[in-house]
A and B are shown apart, each in its own frame.
Chain A
Amino acid sequence: MRIKKSIAISESGFMFNPITGESFTVNPIGFEIIQMINDGLESAQIIETICKKYQIDPQTFDKDLTDFTGMLDNHHLSQHHDQEEA
């Protein structure tokens, strides 16, 4: 998956969806993850990077990552490779 191209995200973690007009905030680790997603990293790579940097085990983080990407989907901020930008 990746974040829709149209979504603007600032250093402070503020996200704006110009299509729907909705605004969001993410915490710093959320911002890091979004950047990794944008850089094309796969889940496994993200898990490895985060677990190296933070005090967290891969199982727990895997669950939190799934929850987070699920929320991105839920808010229509992400798209999967096979989807056209909506």
Chain B
Amino acid sequence: MIDIIVMVLFGIGLFSFFSTTVGILRFPDFYSRMHAAGKGDVFSSVAMLLGLVVYHFHHPSLDGVLVAVKILMISLFIFLASPTATHAIISAGFNSGVVPWSRQKQEEGQQ
């Protein structure tokens, strides 16, 4: 039972990381790539880490509980820090004058 929950959570995390990667590779400009990186990153990491936490319920002992709580702390930290890091990167790009992509500009460029 626990194994199935771990596998499902891990699979969800891997799939959303896959779509994050595809998004990072395919989106047209820096800002929309940040959308993929900022959102999919948090969700996939937290899902995989939760899967690893659930795996520790197999043989509950003091050490196992400590490790599980530490992994929970890591996922909490990622949950807090990843949007902040995204914010820092995108703010650096905005202040350096990276121009957002838009369809009109691309069509004008092709003519």
A, B in one complex: no
Using a CB–CB distance below 8 Å, which chain A residues touch chain B?
Answer: none
